[in-house]
Amino acid sequence: MRDNNMMPKGNETDDGEVGLNTTSFEQVQQQQKKLVIGYALTSKKKMSFLQPKLEVLARKKGISFVSIDQDKPLSEQGPFDVVLHKLLGNEWHDVIEDYQQKHPEVTVLDPPCAIQRIYNRQSMLQGIADINLADCDGMICVPKQMVVLKNTTSSTNEVAEAGLNFPLVAKPLLVDGTAKSHQLFLAYDRLSLAELEPPLVLQEFVNHGGVLFKVFVVGDVIKVVRRFSLPNVSNCEKEKVAGVFQFPRVSSSAASVDKTDLDPRVAG
């Protein structure tokens, strides 16, 4: 005996014939493979990330984005396949770590322990310095740098002892998501260091054509984008200019140079 539930269903046409409602294998797969991403982002990051085009594309791929309510326990929300977050603070990190322990089946991007290094600019570049890239084509290195924790006035001698050459890029030591943590200064001489507020990182400025490259890696996919950066400093400028200059934030998406004509030596 044949189960009617196993028979293809159809609609009767005007002439009495039955037309089958066919569904492609690809559509069935998409219906079966629903992916729910819970996200916890700042309002600014949400506006820049959750663009309408992304949401439309995600829906076509069977992906739905669900906002996480920070006023409710995370374990009571969902279920999620992925938790995407970019919030700072020890309290939030404790919430995420607790959730990971209770829901090991959920992918968390990124686990707090995996991104702790990038909150400190002293340790941020250490991973690159620890890699042996001597056999690579071209030159890959980390600029000389030093950390100033307290008095910038007394650090002038330490700069000389560390072998750092002016001008120096000055960046706040800690990255906490605030506008202040993204402030960027260029100090041309020793006396100008007294104008800077510690704790900070002093780094030798390296001419790089006014462009920097950001590399994003997701699994086996690698995406490289170009951003406007600090302009080159000429030898003449080094001799004549003194003081500290603050620069606008670089490397943000608003500073994209992907559609800009560049010097071939930089754009290659």
pTM: 0.67
pLDDT tens for each residue of 188-234: 988 888 888 889 999 999 998 888 888 888 889 999 999 888 888 88
Give just the sign of the alpha carbon dihedral 260, 261, 265, 267: positive
Q: What's the pLDDT tens digit per position in 126-153?
A: 777 777 666 667 777 788 888 888 876 6
At residue 25, the pLDDT reads 42
Which tens digits make up the pLDDT trace of 179-189? Answer: 788 888 999 98
Going 154 to 158 to 160 to 164, the CA torsion angle's sign is: negative
- How many helices (H) does the chain have, and how many strands (E)? 10, 13
State the pLDDT at residue 205: 92
**Which domains are assigned to the chain?**
26-117 (3.40.50.11370), 121-267 (3.30.470.20)
pLDDT at 45: 86
**Helical spans, DSSP H, in the chain:** 25-32, 43-49, 52-60, 90-102, 112-115, 121-124, 126-130, 155-161, 235-240, 264-267
